[in-house]
Amino acid sequence: MELEPGLFGIGTTPRFAIGQRALLIQTAHGNVLWDCITLLDASTRARIHELGGIRHIVISHPHYYASMVDWAHEFGATIHLAAADREWVMRHDPSISFWAGSFEPVPGVTVVQTGGHFEGAAVLNWQGALMTGDVIYVLPGRDSRVSFMRSYPMLLPLPEQSLAGLLAAIDGLEYERIYGAWWDSVIDSNAQAVVRESAELYRTWLQGRG
């Protein structure tokens, strides 16, 4: 599904596991896949090849490693994983490359390590859009808000020090929109202000001032 010019969502229907969708960014320097889904069927392969294939696969955190090696082999892509999360790689492969801090897989696409949800958790910035997986979690509802978790299964909030590190990591990025991990996890406008205001509210409650 085309979400905006040059950006496509890839998901599985009916919903599988947690129901996340990946994002395919088209660029003149090769396409970038952000995060991954498990199922790679014939129709998905064909459609992605029509869109120009995949040159780079970048994963926000280990929960979305899924069948990334199969995807890399199909499209001849390089997988980029944060070195801090190396221990979570269960299937090692020559297609995997490790990075730290920040990097640009292609010009105009910037990936930044934020920590938080995982030590190597990352976000991707492209043409005013910040792609966050659930490292920055877009909350449901009509009011645009985000939140931050260390562990979703255990419902553990992100500690204040980790939140500060995450916010510092994205401070230099410019973005108006956020695409989270699910189809409806989207903030269409004013996203930087939403993150800033949500973080302040989150910090207020952590400090018992709410």
Our measurement of the distance from residue 129's CA atom to the centroid of its chain's CA atoms, rounded to an integer in Å, reads 11
The tokens describing 110, both together, are 């910037």
Encode pLDDT of 160-171 as tens digits: 999 999 999 999
pLDDT score of 206 more than 90: no
Encode pLDDT of 47-73 as tens digits: 999 999 999 999 999 999 989 999 999
Dist. CA 189–CA 184, nearest whole Å: 14
The domain defined by 2-206 folds into Metallo-beta-lactamase; Chain A (3.60.15)
The domain locations on the chain are 2-206
Predicted TM-score (pTM) of this structure: 0.95
Q: Greater confidence, 144 or 131?
A: 131
Please state the rounded mean pLDDT for residues 191-195. Answer: 97
Mean of pLDDT over the chain: 95
In the block, tokens 């892509």 appear at 77
